[in-house]
Amino acid sequence: MKYRLLFMVFLVFESVYSQDCHLSLRGKVIDQHDKKPLEGAIISIFGTKKQVLSNSEGVFVLQGLCEGFYELEVSHLNCGTQFITLQMDNNLEKTFYLEHHVEELNEVALVKKRESTPSEQSLNAAVLDNSAAQNFAEALSQIQGVSTLKTGNSIAKPLIQGMLGSRVITHNQGVRMQDMEWGEEHAPNIATSSIEGVSLAVGAKALKYGSDAVGGVIVLDPRKPVFANKQRHEFIWAGQTNGKGVLGSYKLDKDFENGAFYGLQFAFKKSGNNLNSQGYLMNTGLEQTNLSIPLGWHKANKGIDVYFSFFKANNGILRNAHIGNIQDLINQINGNVTSDYGAFNYEIENPRQDVSHFLAKISTYYHIPSFGKWTFQYDYQRNRRKEFDIRLGDRNKLPGVDLQLTTHGFQSLLKLDTTNDKLVEFGWSTDYQLHYPNPATGVKRLIPDYNSLNMGAFVYGSKTLSNALSLEATIRTHNIRINADKYYKSSRWEALDYIEDFSSFVVEEFDFQILTAPKLNFQTISAALSLHYNKKEHKFHTNVQYIERAPNPAELFSEGLHHSAARIELGSLRMQKEKATKLGFQYQYLTDKRSVWLAPYLNLISDYMALIPTGVEYTIRGAFPVWEYQQTNARFTGVDFKWTEYFSKGIQMTNGWSVVKALDLKRNTAFPNIPPVNTHHELEKSFDKLPGLSFQVTGQYHFKQNEVPDNLTIYNPSTQSNQTLEINRAPNGFFLLSSVVEYQFPKSGNSQYKLRLSADNLTNLAYQNYLNRLRYFSNELGRNIQLQLQINF
């Protein structure tokens, strides 16, 4: 046995030393921005002391290489570091592009990032810093095709090509956000000032993040190391006239040469009652606080990332949205009465929404030579949402809705070592959720107790077919199990004909209630294929997706008054999984003088789960519209367009428009809350004689949404007659004018200052927005002037 082992060792050494180690890697290191060569770049091979420097032409040569797999580390002073995998079978020539403007990108200059691929629109940190005082959804609306669905003026969530809620995934720091996104008024628990950068992924890449991204995936960039001893500070202060709001934000980034880093970000935002052209809107103030801490250590073959964040918001709900009787509700929705106005104050009273979200993540990766990079991640999220109604006595201190969602997530990702022209990834994920509504509210639970287990896996691959053509594909499957405990009124259980279909769910029957324990299981499979063609200034992207989405707990179990939504919502146990087939095409033309982006799409969805207004119900807390989840077949078509022209003398002009058409194919009618046709026009001027000064004026026109469902006919007990409730009535179109003046002071040592003065709704227009769910009760905000100071040092 001993001699056999020695003989095997001899064979191994013989095979190693008999390899052909006369191969060479010749290459060039280029500045990604201005395409100039980078001198002094370090090109090293992990696991060895072999390294070379690039010369004045950016050229380098690595000699004496054997056949096999190598992992290169390419770095340069003030650059981000790249890790490149190579398979050496013969002599190679490669060109590497480094981001040589890390310092400049961390300055406060407004840098509008041009998209690297037409399938991924993005906003970088500088653009987001300018939007620090806006909520997350409003900041995202700078991406063409993204709209904002609002509940009042402080709660907003993004719509992508008419899709929202569970159909839009938000991926934050490598973690899918679990913050009760199924509610239309459940805004993402993310502060704009905490974001490093954001992109919108569609097609095959989007399926890597989840199986139900019918609309797309919002990807928030994680903190990345700089591989240099650096420390950066960023301070933002903003004040605005409308609501007399203030924002304070501070960010610290500390990096070390060995790849270690840590950071700290904190922000506080507060405003009082908002003002429209008629007066102050009662109880529309807000308070938001967020804290995030990233830290980690990255090397070529291993690394670890840790991230903590806490977000808390207290949002006032417009007092006028809660109506005492059906006649007053009809009058208000039909526009027959004017809104009540109050005085300015910072007090936030009931009705209001109090939310908090805690996220913790630890992720580690290790590269196994000649095999691949393996990543493991665990994340924990705790989301709590309290909705307070106007109640009598001490009960006014109790929330009417108190929901707590806890999520444990496990992920594993394997990226195989392959040749440069292809990539293969395997991913596994498991999410366990526990939802617990606080029984101390004294109100029937809107969403019942439930636990769910979501287990999924995917395979992703990409292949370069030629210098201009590449292909991507993803297939993903999930198994979702939901176990709930829910009380139904006996009369509702019978009215819905649940007796025969779901008798196995019944645990116990009482005089007027039935206790049930639904156990539901859904199996989904999704696939996507994307084709890219890049030829000089022309870029084409085509993707075909088939996506299955399981119903979420709100669609299955909702029953009761949703206070912050000011409506009664009803789910259905009969919900089946959605099945969407989507075809998208994107074209981009990009030169130094012009940028054109065009993206038409077609989305056919069978068993589409829609929330539809069906009537009105009077409760002891007032009269409220009733909205029910119903399944139908849907067709979404649309196109997004953006054109930017770069003129001489620092003039830049941008025009864009978006169109979404959504049709209920079974009823041959429109869906509610679909964005109307909208356009935006922007003119920007910078001054050569006064560097750092720029001026921008923007006009936005939102057309009237003419494609809306029919209004409702309801019975009014006070008049004992049927009346029309114009709940689907769309307001007139409107044109908004805004402007920005910005001055970036000359850099002083390590400090950079920027002053930004902006004005929204310059004409103080009185208008209503169809995508504001409280539009029946008040006009939108009036003129708002904001001053922002940013200091980087």
In angstroms, the Cα distances linking 151 to 276, 316, 317, 621, 675 are: 16, 11, 8, 20, 15
For 1-35, the pLDDT digits (tens) are 444 443 443 333 344 334 456 788 888 988 765 67
Whole-angstrom Cα distance, residue 642 to residue 229?
40
Q: Tell whether 149 is covered by a domain.
A: no
Which residues have C-beta within 8 Å of that of residue 509, sequence separation ≥ 6?
Answer: 490, 515
How far is Cα of residue 751 from the mean position of the Cα atoms in its chain? 32
Coil, strand or helix at 9 = helix
Q: Tell whether 155 is covered by a domain.
A: no
Which residues have C-beta within 8 Å of that of residue 76, sequence separation ≥ 6?
Answer: 29, 38, 40, 41, 42, 98, 100
Choice between 559 and 762, residue whose per-residue pLDDT is larger: 762
Which residues have C-beta within 8 Å of that of residue 490, sequence separation ≥ 6?
Answer: 509, 510, 511, 512, 513, 514
Whole-angstrom Cα distance, residue 588 to residue 537?
8
| Confidence band, pLDDT 50/70/90 cuts, at residue 99 | low
Same domain, yes or no: 78 and 224: no
Identity at 512, one-letter amino acid code: F
Coil, strand or helix at 129 = helix
Same domain, yes or no: 93 and 198: no
| Confidence band, pLDDT 50/70/90 cuts, at residue 620 | low
Same domain, yes or no: 576 and 442: yes
SS (HEC) of 575-644:
CCCEEEEEEEEEEEEECCCEEEEEEEEEEEEEEEEEEEEEEEEEECCEEEEEEEEEEEEEEEEEEEEEEE
Q: Tell whether 132 is covered by a domain.
A: no
In this model, does residue 103 exceed pLDDT 60? no
Closest CA to 735 of 705, 772, 767: 767
Q: Which of 183-192, 357-366, 507-516, 581-590 has the lowest mean pLDDT?
A: 183-192
Same domain, yes or no: 502 and 648: yes
Closest CA to 390 of 316, 313, 287: 316
In this predicted structure, what is the pLDDT of residue 585? 94
Closest CA to 31 of 103, 77, 98: 98
What the block records as the tokens of 214 is 């019918």
**Domain end: 48, 80, 98, which one?**
98
Provide mean pLDDT across the span 330-357: 87
**Residue 649: φ, ψ to 5°:** 60, 30
Q: Cβ-count burial of 6 within 10 angstroms (0-12 exposed, 13-18 middle, 19+ buried)?
A: exposed
Q: Count of residues for the chain?
A: 793
In angstroms, the Cα distances linking 526 to 204, 210, 212, 427, 476 are: 10, 9, 8, 14, 5
Whole-angstrom Cα distance, residue 292 to residue 311?
9
In this model, does residue 346 exceed pLDDT 70? yes
Whole-angstrom Cα distance, residue 56 to residue 417?
32
Same domain, yes or no: 80 and 224: no
Whole-angstrom Cα distance, residue 70 to residue 84?
8
Q: Tell whether 324 is covered by a domain.
A: yes
Q: What is the number of structural domains in the chain?
A: 2
In this model, does residue 652 exceed pLDDT 90? yes
Same domain, yes or no: 65 and 213: no
Closest CA to 402 of 425, 422, 383: 383
In this predicted structure, what is the pLDDT of residue 320? 79
Choice between 260 and 396, residue whose per-residue pLDDT is larger: 260
Same domain, yes or no: 201 and 73: no
Q: Are 109 and 126 in contact (CB under 8 A)?
A: yes
For 444-502, the pLDDT digits (tens) are 788 899 999 999 999 999 999 988 899 999 999 999 999 999 999 898 899 889 998 99
In this predicted structure, what is the pLDDT of residue 78? 55
For 525-564, the pLDDT digits (tens) are 999 999 999 888 899 999 999 999 999 999 999 987 776 5
Choice between 504 and 389, residue whose per-residue pLDDT is larger: 504
Provide mean pLDDT across the span 352-356: 93
Same domain, yes or no: 373 and 228: yes
- Average pLDDT of the chain to the nearest whole number: 86
Choice between 261 and 559, residue whose per-residue pLDDT is larger: 261
Q: Tell whether 161 is covered by a domain.
A: no
pTM recorded for the entire structure: 0.84
Q: Are 277 and 766 in contact (CB under 8 A)?
A: yes
Q: Tell whether 753 is covered by a domain.
A: yes
Same domain, yes or no: 207 and 61: no
Neighbours of 677 (CB within 10 A): 18
Q: Tell whether 168 is covered by a domain.
A: no
Q: Tell whether 165 is covered by a domain.
A: no
| Confidence band, pLDDT 50/70/90 cuts, at residue 187 | confident
| Confidence band, pLDDT 50/70/90 cuts, at residue 49 | low
88 lies in which domain range? Answer: 2-98
Same domain, yes or no: 633 and 776: yes
The CATH number that applies at residue 744 is: 2.40.170.20
In this predicted structure, what is the pLDDT of residue 136? 85
Exposure b/e, 423-448, CB count within 10 A at least 16 = b: bebbbebebebebbbeeebebebbbb
CA angle 668, 671, 675 (to 5 degrees): 130
Host H or E run for residue 489: strand 469-489
Coil, strand or helix at 435 = strand
The CATH number that applies at residue 49 is: 2.60.40.10
**Domain end: 98, 119, 149, which one?**
98
In this predicted structure, what is the pLDDT of residue 5? 40
Q: Cβ-count burial of 318 within 10 angstroms (0-12 exposed, 13-18 middle, 19+ buried)?
A: buried
> Maximum distance among all alpha carbons in the chain?
103
Residue 748 DSSP one-character state:
B
Whole-angstrom Cα distance, residue 777 to residue 337?
9
For 104-119, the pLDDT digits (tens) are 333 222 222 333 445 5
In this predicted structure, what is the pLDDT of residue 666? 95
Q: Which of 113-117, 213-217, 595-599 has the lowest mean pLDDT?
A: 113-117
Same domain, yes or no: 453 and 585: yes
Provide mean pLDDT across the span 145-157: 83
In this model, does residue 691 exceed pLDDT 90? no
Identity at 653, one-letter amino acid code: M
**Domain end: 72, 98, 124, which one?**
98
Same domain, yes or no: 74 and 197: no
Q: Which of 118-127, 344-353, 497-506, 711-720 has the lowest mean pLDDT?
A: 118-127
Whole-angstrom Cα distance, residue 555 to residue 612?
12
